[in-house]
């Protein structure tokens, strides 16, 4: 697969896959977090293309978004007007869309939504990581919230990493918005957020994927940390795409933002 004008098969470098806590649009004004994301991207080989699975697009059967540059999806409300003027005109990735479709079994059809642009779970972190918007990007829907099925989907996507594709599962390590009382970005983390994040860090460090998949029963801080689970679900696509499913991921970013855990990790 060639997804950029200059790339040839010998140029492509196997990339890790990431799980990002993507933040809301004001993330771009947080100096620490933007520095962390920029450093993360700087330390990676340059991707030939980026495949993003965001918490903000649930659709079954599996759907692929636009393969040419279309307007962004401003899927949020109540923010200052300038957040609705952000642009991220990344090239589309039609070759990547064709590869994703080819990796899926015949029994699981892939649909296309050619007018669906990148939502904020995709473009907000990418504006920090790859601000030149010069790498082709494809967004894919979350077709299920079932951890086991998402792990299987990640495993199907694994060959893309050897083709220079950066796979990103974009969510938020804790996302108990209904239970927040202090909406400052530097607000102290509630107990349920700290407890869930500590459990997540420890369980990732052991590579205990089965325990992670049973997070609704095992993790402290539930259901407050994830009253709905779409922001945790992309984690399983990332874990499923690991070359060694039993290897512990590399945890790259931790801490809290608006009391929510911004834990981010990579699998090799």
- 139 three-state secondary structure: strand
CATH number for the domain including 93? Answer: 3.40.830.10
Contacts of 210 (CB under 8 A, 6+ apart): none
Question: Which residues is 266 bridged to in the sheet?
Answer: 18, 250
Kindly report which listed range (10-19, 104-113, 140-149, 259-268) carries the lowest average pLDDT score: 10-19
* pLDDT over threshold 70, residue 118: yes
State the pLDDT at residue 163. 97
> Is 106 or 242 the better-scoring residue by pLDDT?
242
C-alpha 172/C-alpha 68 separation (Å) is 27
In a domain, 28, yes or no: yes
pLDDT bracket for residue 3 (50, 70, 90): very low
Kindly state the average pLDDT of the residues 75-98. 96
**Is pLDDT of 2 > 60?**
no
Cβ(261)–Cβ(174) below 8 Å: yes
Position 5 in a domain: no
Mind listing the pLDDT tens digit for each residue in 34-67? Answer: 999 999 999 999 999 999 999 999 999 999 999 9
SS3 101: helix
Residue-wise pLDDT for 105-115, tens only, equals 988 889 999 99
Whether the per-residue pLDDT at 135 is higher than 90: the answer is yes
* 136 within some domain: yes
Question: Interior CA angle at 84 toward 80 and 89, to 5°?
Answer: 145
Residue 4 lies in a domain: no
- Per-residue pLDDT at 35: 98
Quote the number of domains for the chain.
1
In a domain, residue 228? The reply is yes
Which pair of tokens denotes residue 124? 């907000």
Residue 5: the pLDDT is 42
* CA of residue 131 relative to chain centroid, distance: 17
Range of the domain at 107: 10-267
d(CA 203, CA 195): 12
248 has a pLDDT exceeding 50: yes
Supply the DSSP string of 212-255, one letter for each residue. HHTHHHH-TTTTTS-SS-TTTTHHHHHHHT-SSTTSPPEEEE--
Residue 176 has pLDDT above 90, yes or no: yes
Calpha distance 23→1 (Å, rounded): 32
What's the pLDDT at 108? 86
Whether 37 and 125 have beta carbons less than 8 Å apart is answered as yes
pLDDT score recorded for residue 12: 65
- Write down the pLDDT at residue 8: 44
Contact assessment for residue 170 and residue 262, using Cβ atoms and an 8 Å cutoff:
no
* pLDDT 10s digits, 6-18: 444 445 678 999 9
> Both tokens of residue 28?
């771009």
Contact 221, 191 (CB under 8 A): yes
2 lies in a domain?
no
Helix, strand, coil percentages for the chain (3-state, nearest 5) = 35, 15, 45
Please give the pLDDT value at position 149: 97
Q: What is the mean pLDDT of residues 65-94?
A: 97
On the question of pLDDT at 234 being above 90, the answer is yes
């Amino acid at each position: 697969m060639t997804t950029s004008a200059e790339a040839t098969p010998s140029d492509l470098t196997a990339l890790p896959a990431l799980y990002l806590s993507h933040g809301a649009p004001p993330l771009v004004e947080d100096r620490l977090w933007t520095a962390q994301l920029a450093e993360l991207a700087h330390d990676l080989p340059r991707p030939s293309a980026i495949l993003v699975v965001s918490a903000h697009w649930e659709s079954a059967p599996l759907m692929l978004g636009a393969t040419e540059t279309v307007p962004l999806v401003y899927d949020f409300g109540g923010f200052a007007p300038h957040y609705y003027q952000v642009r991220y005109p990344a090239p589309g990735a039609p070759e990547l869309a064709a590869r994703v479709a080819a990796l899926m079994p015949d029994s699981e059809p892939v649909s296309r939504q050619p007018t669906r642009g990148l939502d904020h779970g995709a473009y907000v972190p990418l504006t920090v990581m790859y601000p030149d918007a010069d790498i082709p990007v494809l967004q894919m829907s979350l077709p299920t919230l079932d951890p086991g099925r998402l792990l299987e989907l990640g495993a199907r996507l694994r060959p893309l990493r050897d083709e220079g594709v950066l796979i990103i599962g974009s969510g938020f390590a804790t996302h108990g918005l209904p239970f927040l009382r202090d909406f400052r970005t530097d607000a102290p983390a509630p107990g349920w957020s700290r407890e869930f994040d500590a459990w997540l860090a420890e369980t990732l460090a052991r590579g205990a994927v089965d325990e992670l998949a049973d997070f609704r029963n095992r993790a402290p801080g539930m259901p407050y940390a994830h009253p709905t689970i779409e922001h945790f679900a992309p984690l399983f696509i990332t874990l499923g795409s690991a070359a060694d499913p039993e290897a512990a991921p590399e945890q790259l970013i931790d801490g809290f933002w608006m009391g929510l855990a911004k834990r981010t990790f990579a699998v090799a």
